[in-house]
Amino acid sequence: NAGVTQTPKFQVLKTGQSMTLQCAQDMNHEYMSWYRQDPGMGLRLIHYSVGAGITDQGEVPNGYNVSRSTTEDFPLRLLSAAPSQTSVYFCASSLLAGGREQYFGPGTRLTVT
């Protein structure tokens, strides 16, 4: 049981490039979320999903897209990377609503130059 996995661990992009951060979970959780973590800012919700085919925006969604075609996978797409998107990105999943028993992946450190 791997839990929540994320790839890649590190990524450097140039301004304007696009990329997809991968997230997968093997716990059959319906709820999945993407957060970004910046120094002194805590974790801020980007997008979330309540099941396959259903996604919605969180607190800071601009510049990011998500989709959820399966229960297991929840990729995050950066459409046109900007230096303001330099951050550490965490994917999380939970069995229940409201963030109950929410488990996080190891994170992806992204630098945009």
Partner 1 sequence: QQQVKQSPQSLIVQKGGIPIINCAYENTAFDYFPWYQQFPGKGPALLIAIRPDVSEKKEGRFTISFNKSAKQFSLHIMDSQPGDSATYFCAAGWGGGADGLTFGKGTHLIIQP
Out of 60, 78, 92, 110, which residue is the one contacting partner 1 (CB under 8 A)?
92
| Stretch binding partner 1 (CB under 8 A), from 14-22, 68-76, 77-85, 97-105 | 97-105
Shortest distance, position 89 Cβ to partner 1, whole Å: 10
Binding to partner 1 by residue 53, rule CB under 8 A?
Answer: no
Write out the DSSP string of 71-109. Answer: SSB--EEESS--GGG-EEEEEEEESSSTTTT-EE---EE
Write the CB contacts of 42 (distance below 8 Å, at least 6 apart in sequence): none
Examine residue 87 and tell whether it contacts partner 1 (CB under 8 A). no
Phi, psi torsion values for 83, nearest 5 degrees: -55, -30
Residue with tokens 């488990």: 103
| 94 contributes a contact to partner 1 by CB under 8 A | yes
Instruction: Tell the smallest beta-carbon distance from residue 16 to partner 1 (Å).
Output: 28
Q: Is residue 42 part of the contact set for partner 1 (CB under 8 A)?
A: yes
Compute, in degrees rounded to 10, the torsion defined by CA atoms 109, 8, 5, 105.
0
Q: What does the binding site for partner 1 look like in residue numbers (CB under 8 A)? A: 4, 31, 33, 35, 40-45, 48, 50, 56, 58, 90, 92, 94, 96-107
